[in-house]
Chains A and B, each alone.
Chain A
């Protein structure tokens, strides 16, 4: 370690420590030593960019990687959530630091060595698991999306995919199957629901049918190959594939098996939707949805071949097909789907289009394996009434202007 620092000093003598640490307009990286004596890669200001990178020895290996300072990927935060920049992604995995956030009383700081998960209620043997216990059980990994059910915006032209539906992200989640823990505690036959409770300041709770616990629920402690991010529930969360994000309770501290739902605030006052004068509750499944992420606002296109790209997903299973329209919905063509097409996962789609400069609208719609076809905004309003609300998965359209500008088409 010590040697390394000397080497850096020798190689890059013109980088002052101040330059290494500061500067708003930054590019490239160098290694600096932190107060704790750790080597970290650090951005260097644009002014320090070498004219010819082949003539200057580059930055040496570091302890953690960096994102190129030329890449300005940011979530879009509000007081209660932060949206993923869907338009900036390639492939199907969301970088962990860009996974959307939604919490009800901030992100707690939890000591993983003190954190415990209690499982009690209608069980033979109530047990408390430390994180280290959970990690010793047989493990499982699964790539799946996580979407907040309150994930729809429209109403103005200047909305990006991030703003329309940036509350969806995809990771590889690793943990222990909840069914494994259910066996361990001996869930009683009369248990039909369980309460999942978080250890944040909202002590957030949801009731989940026990069947989901047996089917595919994961008690996750890792995301994309490393421990969960604090924003995603560090050190341990519930992960329910395909279900509305709120049910995948983060910072999980307690599960209580019961013979009835608990009717918590998050499943009555919130996360319920008006449907023709009634209030629909326990809408767990995420309805199939897709969105074109390229081209989209605020991008601009040029005449010629455009590869239309986007994401499609369904909480009820696999994506079967995605269709794209380049003439405002008059006709639809099949898009190509990128393998692997996973169950309850974001799938990437592509459609090659030659744009000749005409003014038009482009849009996508997904069909899932249950035969459900993503509806239009008008179809949803006709089916549910005009109140909007959760689980709004309408087709989103982009207007293409003759000058190449791309604008969201606000729904009315």
Chain B
């Protein structure tokens, strides 16, 4: 190999290795992280790269549509089953069936299965949290017009779906206070995965 070429190659190969030791980027306070190698990976990072812009509360509020089981994220408003029923028949029944049973896109309401058949998985027998009904319907339904429902409509529909599944009675008003308190039939069935690898088949 000609001398000059080998020198060029050496420089190219070594330069990236040298940068971390130059001490140009030195983290003042490596963050507390659960993983050792992250801390060493980032030892040469500046404290901040100064990229991105600070989000305003207004823009966060616009996007922050999620609802947690403790009710965090539920908007103002309320709903009752009777009103939900008429919205459902209009906007949901074509895909999920009259009364939420047997539509082309799946039942939402539990029913007695035909002889020899397993019961369909529905809100009534498989959903562990009532808040998920509100969250999901508001973000994704109706499938052909997602995000088109008002919060009030979503409360009515949630009340309807819970009542149709015999989880609440028809007079229960569903709002930010009452929805997190609804106990779902499937709640006690849910267990977190505790497998950690190893020979056992679970």
Contacts and interface: CB of A to CB of B under 8 A. Distances in A.
Contacts, number: 168
Interface string B63-74: 111111110000
A179 B33 CA distance: 9
A83 to B, nearest CB: 22
Interface residues of B, number: 54
Given A120-B55, A278-B191, A260 B45 contact: no
- Dominant secondary structure at the B interface: loop
A128 B49 contact: no
B45 to A, nearest CB: 7
Contact of B68 (A129, A204, A258, A265): A258
A384 B128 contact: no
Contact of A256 (B35, B66, B69, B146): B66
Contact of B52 (A184, A195, A268, A382): A184
A244 to B, nearest CB: 10
Contacts of A177: 38, 41
A146 to B, nearest CB: 19
Contact of A183 (B31, B70, B135): B31
A128 B59 contact: yes
Contacts of A265: 132, 135-136, 140
A136 interface: yes
Interface string A352-373: 0000000000000000101111
- Dominant secondary structure at the A interface: mixed
Interface in A131-165: 133, 136-138
Interface string A313-346: 0001100000000000000000000000000000
Given A275-B202, A370-B197, A127 B135 contact: no
B115 interface: no
Contacts of A368: 197
A283 B196 CA distance: 10
Interface string B96-108: 0000000000000
B49 A184 contact: yes
A302 interface: no
B131 interface: yes
A379 B201 contact: yes
Given A129-B51, A272-B190, A316-B197, A260 B70 contact: yes
A240 to B, nearest CB: 14
B3 interface: no
B113 to A, nearest CB: 14
Contacts of A75: none
B85 to A, nearest CB: 22
A253 B190 CA distance: 29
Given A256-B64, A278-B189, A263 B131 contact: yes
A272 B53 CA distance: 37
A284 B197 CA distance: 12
Given A137-B51, A253-B63, A371 B127 contact: no
A335 B91 CA distance: 56
A272 B127 CA distance: 11
Given A104-B140, A264-B132, A269-B121, A279 B54 contact: no
Interface in B37-66: 38, 41-42, 45, 48-49, 51-55, 59-60, 63-66
Contact of A128 (B53, B121, B189): B53
Contact of A383 (B51, B69, B191, B202): B202
11 contacts: A128-B53, A128-B55, A183-B48, A254-B63, A260-B69, A262-B67, A265-B136, A275-B191, A281-B190, A283-B195, A384-B202
Interface of B: 31-35, 38, 41-42, 45, 48-49, 51-55, 59-60, 63-70, 121, 123, 126-129, 131-132, 135-136, 139-140, 143, 146-147, 186, 189-193, 195-199, 201-202
Q: Which 10 A-B pairs have the closest CB atoms?
A: A370-B197, A127-B52, A283-B193, A265-B136, A126-B55, A129-B52, A203-B139, A133-B51, A316-B197, A375-B201
